[in-house]
Amino acid sequence: METWVDQAARLTKPDKVVFCDGSEAENNVILHEMLKHADSFRLNEKTYPNCYLHRSSPSDVARTEHLTFICTPDKDDVGPTNNWMDPGAAKIKVGALLDGAMRGRTMYVVPYIMGPANSPISKVGLEVTDSPYVVANMRIMARIGKVATDRLGNSADFVPGLHSLGDLDPLRRYIVHFPEERLIWSVGSGYGGNALLGKKCFALRIASYMARQQGWMAEHMLILGLESPGGKVTYMAAAFPSACGKTNLAMMVSALESQGYKVWTVGDDIAWMRIASDGYLHAINPEAGFFGVAPGTGMNTNPNVMRALNRNTIFTNVGVTSEDEPWWEGIGGGPPEGLVTWRGEKWDLSKGPAAHPNARYTVPAQQSPCISPNWEAPEGVPISAIIFGGRRGRLAPLVYESFDWQHGVFVGATMASETTAATTGDVGIMRRDPMAMLPFCGYDMADYFRHWLEMGKRIPKPPKIFHVNWFRRGANGKFLWPGYGENVRVLKWILERVEGRGEARETEIGYVPKKSALTLDGLHIAREALNELFRVDADDWEIDLADSREFFAKFGPRLPAELREEHQKLARRLERSIPA
Ligand code: SAT
Ligand code: MN
C-alpha cells in the first residue's frame, strides 16, 4: 500500500500527505478543510446538526459518460457500449494531467472497505484524493480508515484509485479504468460517481470485471426486504437506471403496512451477489450510505429518507433558505422568501429550479428508520426476485414476470429507459440500458450477458426475474400509476409469484397479473387506467423488437445465441397474436 501511495505522490506532487484513520477527530479536521473553500458551508446547527452544503462547479454536476474510459490492451474487450483507450496511451495522456496536479494541496489517503467489515464478500479499496469533500463523502459511503487497513493487513489485494480535482475543466477531465490492473484514475471532476471512486468506478466497473472472472455478480441494484404478515422477510434486488427512483423504492413506506406488508432497506444502488451454500444467490450492499437525488424527495414521496436527512448529511447542489436550511423542488411547499440557488444566487422565477435536478444528499445508511436489521449481515441476504425497470412512457406494463432465467436475461438485456439528469447530456431520450449497467459494465456487455446466462445455470435456487414500469403514461400524458408507497402492491404480487401463488395470465411477453390478483383496496384508480397499465400492445412490441434487434446487432457475433433465440421466440409469439 505504501509503495502505491508513494508512486501516486511522486506523480501528483502534493505539499502534504495525510493517511486517514477514519476517526471522529480526523473527520472534524477534514470538514474544517472543506469549509475553507468558498464552495462549502455549514447548515443550520440547530435544525441540521453536522450538515453541510457543497456547491460544485456548474460544469461538474453529473457523471460524464463521454469522458469515462475502460482501458484494455484489446479494444474489442470493452465492447461497443464502452469508451476505450489503450492502457499505455491513457497512462501518458491522463498521467500528464495528474503530473503535479496536487501541488499546493494535501493528498488524503483513504483506505476503505466496500461491504460490511466482517463479510467475506467485501473488498478493500484505497483512494487518494486532493478533495476534502470527497473524503467527507467517502466516510459516509464506505467504511474508511483503520477498519480497512486492519482488514488488508500486509495483503496487496486492494483496488487503488487516484483522484485529483485537477482544474475542474471538462476539457481536462478523464475517468479511466484499468480492469486488468484493477486500477482507477480520475482527474478534473469533484462530483459523485466521477470522484467517489468506491462507488461506480470500483463497486461496478472494476467489480463487474472481477465478478465475471471469479463467478459472482456486481450489479446496479437496490436490495430490499419485503416483510409479510407473520413476519417473514423476502429479499429482492432491483435494477433501474440512475435517477429512476431506486432510493425511493428501497426506502418505501408501504401503503399496505396496516395489512402487514413492510419494506426494509438493505441497499439503494449496488448489490454484490454470490451463490451461497444454501443454494440461493446472496447479496450484500457494498456501500455504507445513500447518495440520493434530492429534488422530488419530500415527506409525501420518501418520508423515511427525509427523517434521516436532518443530521450528519452532506448536501450537494441544493438550494438554501435564509435559515440556512437545505431546500429543493419537491421538498414540500413553495420556494421560501430569501431562497438562494445551488449556484449561490438569490432565487427568482427567472433562475429556474433552485436545486440542480441532479442535486444529491449523502447520508449514513444506518440513519434510515427502515434500515434492515440484516443490512450488514456478513453472509448477505438471500435474493428471491430480481426486478428490472426503467422509465417507459409507453410499452411496458406495470409488471410482468419472465418465463424463466434465460428469458429474464433477455428482458434485462433489452431494458430501455428515458435518460435523466444523473448524467451530462439530453434528458428524456429513450436509450437501451441493459440491466441498468450500460454506463457501469467494465467489459464487453455481450460477455456480460453470457456471464448472466452462466450464473443462471449455476444457481441452485435462482431468483425469479420480473420487469416493472412505474412510468407508463395515459393518452393525456399523465402517469397512470401513483407510484411511491403504492408500489408495494406490485412487490406483494411478486412475492406471491415467488411463493407459487399470485394469479397471472400468460401473454406474449411474460406473465402479467390478473387484475384481480393485484391488491387494490384503498387505492383510487380508474378501471381504464388499470386496463392500460396491464395492456400488452403487440404492435408497439413489434416496433420495440426492431429497435432491440438493432441494439443487439452492435455486439456482433459475441452476443450469446440464447439472446437471439429469445428475440426470435418473442417475435414469433407476437406474430401469432396479431390477427392477419
Ligand atoms: O453520480 S453517481 O454515479 O454516484 C450517481 C448515479 O448516477 O447513480
Ligand atoms: Mn446508481
Supply 150's cell numbers: 486492519
Residue pair 266/227 in contact (Cβ under 8 Å)? The answer is no
| Ligand 1 centroid distance, CA of 493 (Å) | 30
- Strands of the sheet containing 314-316, edge to edge, are 40-42, 52-54, 314-316, 360-364, 289-293
Rounded to whole angstroms, the Cα distance separating 511 from 163 reads 47
Asked if 51 contacts 45 with a C-beta cutoff of 8 angstroms, the reply is: no
Closest to 194 in 3D by CA, of 443, 32, 422, 448: 422
- Ligand 1 site, residue 220, Cβ cutoff 6 A: no
pLDDT of residue 428: 84
Residue bearing the CA closest to ligand 1, atom 6: 242
Cα distance between residue 309 and residue 451, in whole Å: 38
**Protein residue whose Cα sits closest to atom 3 of ligand 1:** 193
Report the distance separating Cα 376 and Cα 367, nearest Å.
14
For residue 445, CA distances in Å to 182, 227, 426, 441 come to 18, 34, 23, 7
Q: State the distance from the centre of ligand 2 to the C-alpha of 241, rounded, in angstroms.
A: 7
Q: How far is CA 471 from CA 24, 95, 330, 440, 464, in A?
A: 43, 43, 18, 23, 22
Please tell me the predicted confidence (pLDDT) of residue 429: 86
What does the pLDDT read at residue 579? 64
Q: Is the CB of 422 under 6 A from ligand 1?
A: yes
Indicate which residue of 20, 51, 71, 244 is catalytic. Answer: 244
* Of 362, 317, 370, nearest in space to 140 by CA: 362
Q: Within a 13 Å sphere around the CA of 235, how many CA atoms are in the beta-carbon half?
A: 24
Tell me how far apart the alpha carbons of residues 505 and 2 are, in angstroms, rounded to a whole number. 60
Alpha helices in 197-317 (DSSP H): 207-214, 246-250, 303-308
Binding site membership of 192 for ligand 1 (Cβ less than 6 Å): yes
Question: Other C-beta atoms within 10 Å of 427: how many?
Answer: 13
The SS3 of residue 337 is coil
C-alpha cell recorded at residue 104:
499546493
pLDDT in tens, the chain (580 residues): 889 999 999 999 999 999 999 999 999 999 999 999 989 999 999 999 999 999 999 999 999 999 999 999 999 999 999 999 999 999 999 999 999 999 999 999 999 999 999 999 999 999 999 999 999 999 999 999 999 999 999 999 999 999 999 999 999 999 999 999 999 999 999 999 999 999 999 999 999 999 999 999 999 999 999 999 999 999 999 999 988 889 999 999 999 999 999 999 999 999 999 999 999 999 999 999 999 999 999 999 999 999 999 999 999 999 999 999 999 999 999 999 999 999 999 999 999 999 999 999 999 999 999 999 999 999 999 999 999 999 998 899 999 999 999 999 999 999 999 888 888 888 888 899 999 999 999 999 999 999 999 999 999 999 999 999 999 999 999 999 999 999 999 999 999 999 999 999 999 999 999 989 999 999 999 999 999 999 999 999 999 999 999 999 999 999 999 999 999 999 999 999 866 5
Backbone angles phi, psi at 140, to 5 degrees: -85, -40
Q: How far is the CA of 535 from the centre of ligand 2 (A)?
A: 29
Domains and CATH numbers, the chain: 2-40+64-215 (3.40.449.10), 219-286+373-574 (3.90.228.20), 290-367 (2.170.8.10)
Report the candidate in 490, 480, 556 with the shortest Cα–Cα distance to residue 517. 490
Rounded to whole angstroms, how far apart are CA atoms 166 and 187? 6
Residue 244 is a catalytic residue? yes
Nearest one of 208, 220, 142 to 179, comparing CA atoms? 208
**The pLDDT of residue 422:** 85
Indicate the length of the chain as a whole number.
Answer: 580
Whole-number Å distance, alpha carbon 199 to ligand 2 midpoint, is: 9
Residue 97 gets which letter from DSSP? H
Residue type, 446: A
Instruction: Using a CB cutoff of 5 Å, list residues around ligand 2, an ion.
Output: 242, 269
Q: Quick check: 359 and 294 in contact, CB under 8 A? A: yes
pLDDT value, residue 426: 86
> Across 130-205, where does the E strand assignment appear?
143-144, 158-164, 174-178, 183-187
Q: What is the spatial distance between Cα 26 and Cα 20, in angstroms, rounded to a whole number?
A: 7
Count of C-beta atoms within a 10 Å radius of residue 556: 12
- Supply the DSSP string of 372-395, one letter for each residue: -TTTT-TT-EEEEEEEEE---SSS
CA 240 to chain centre: 8
